[in-house]
Homo-oligomer: A and B are copies of this chain.
Amino acid sequence: MPVSTLDRSVTEPIIRRLNALRTLSAQASASLEHAVLEGMQRAGSGEDLISEGDPVDSVRIVLSGWLCRYKTLEDGRRQIVNFIFPGETCDAHAFLLAVMDHSIATLTPVVYSEIKRARFETLVASDRSLAEAFWCETLVNSAIQREWAINLGRRVALERVAHLFCEIFERLRPVGMIDGNSCIMPVTQMDLADATGLSVVHLNRTVQELRAAGLIVLRERTLTINDLDALKDAALFSPSYLQLYRRK
């Protein structure tokens, strides 16, 4: 079955994302696209794709929509520990460990592809750059985790929210999901609060502070950054941890 032009546009974020990490051969791209198109799935908003404690036996790659990784405490406190954007992989290597240590939920309706472990392992065994690209993605995720630790531990509310907005913007850029100085922001303030470790009330007030400072506009699920450099300064944001530029 040939991969049509239409299909190509569907898998584009994935190919762009991985190519940002390692140059993929046409052959590797094609076999990946083929595998992706075989396992297409949809999920509504607010669904758990995987829950903490589940064993994992497949890899999920996001084609469209936003997801989050989160953990909860017994009493219900929730912390979003990372977002997952189109082109990114949910758990490329999670099957090496016994069970999931966290949950993954959709924040919007999502289209993704589910690839069984054996299929995935065959795929990456066939091409070294493909294997390395997936590993790099895992490593970049680790780096993002570390940045979130300093964000939660050492930045004050205003810096923290500003930093999150900067990160979202810079992560959406390489997959072509920003439009000028705007991007969609399809999540609730509750989600943003859980990502920044703040209460909803205080998150709301912090967003208003950013608005009052003229740094951002946030309405109708769209974030507009008036002055990206100024926002980055306010956030103490330095993008190197995202590894947007390659070594070689």
Interface residues of A (CB under 8 A from B): 52-53, 55, 69, 71, 73-75, 77-79, 81-82, 93-94, 96-99, 101-102, 132, 135-136, 138-143, 145-150, 152-155, 196-197, 236, 240-241, 243, 245-247
Contact = CB atoms under 8 A, between A and B. Distances in A.
A55 B153 CA distance: 26
A99 B77 CA distance: 35
**How many copies of the shown chain assemble into the complex?**
2
A82 B79 CA distance: 18
Contacts of A149: 71, 79, 81, 145, 148-149, 152
B153 A101 contact: no
Contact of A150 (B81, B99, B136): B81
B101 A147 contact: yes
A135 B73 contact: no
A146 B154 CA distance: 16
Nearest to A245: B98
A196 B154 CA distance: 10
